Amino acid sequence: MVNSSAPSPLGLMGLSRNRTAPTRAKIKALEATLGFSFKDPSILHLALVHRSYCNENGIDPAECYERLEFLGDAVLELAVSTELYTRFPDADEGELTKTRSSLVRRETLASIARRIDLGSYLFVGKGVEITHGREQDSVLAAAFEALIAAIYIDQGNEFTRQLILKLINVELSQAEKSDGPPENPKSQLQEMVQGQGMDPPVYQLARSTGPDHDPVFTVEVLVNGQVVGTGTGGKKSDAEGAAARAAYAALSGQV
């Protein structure tokens, strides 16, 4: 059951009283990057605050972006689903689902977040800062979803939909040119090595670092017993995908 007495995601009283709260200058800089000004800047404040910042500054965890992240995920999926339905009239449900998954997955969202330099605007704890956490895919993707939710609450559905399509235009264009989503890196690697008569790739966890709430996994992929690629990610599946891409590039002579 939802706790109706939980703090409102728009309430930033604890944050506004904290002397290390996000500055108005930082908010204005991000607004300039996005190309519009928020009617309620406090919702943008909220979208920039990582839980670690709250923990280290004695701020209620409800004043971080996690609730916005939940909403932003749904807003992104609806906008992307609607666009794909219109843009690919001949695609079936399976093709549309696969393409949407490639566009809203963590790696893609983190890439878009980097294009707008979102990481530099985030407020994170010292531990996350020291480990360069503000540039991790998991942090950037979550913050981007929170940002989308903040825009949705402040500006409404149609404005947000148009901005999403603008921000994700590069990836949408790539999907359109290739008549579908990019190849799954693990499938692509497996097809290549088996086509060359080698054993199927084997993925193994090399190490895991970082806190429990925001881990970083390093995975190695082996072919015929030899390490041919290494990748990292906030999820094991992301790390495996990165390792597969590195292995494919190495084995095909692209590095």
Q: Which sequence positions are flagged as catalytic? A: 73, 145
Rounded to whole angstroms, how far apart are CA atoms 123 and 56?
Answer: 11
- Output the CA torsion sign for 78, 81, 84, 86: negative
Other Cβ atoms less than 10 A from the Cβ of 57: the count is: 17
Which residues are within 8 A (CB) of 32 and not within 5 positions of it... i.e. 6 or more apart?
none
Cα(201)–Cα(191) distance, rounded to whole angstroms? 10
Q: How many residues does the chain have?
A: 255
Query: Is residue 162 classed as helix, strand or coil in its secondary structure?
Result: helix
Cα separation, 242 vs 233, whole angstroms:
8
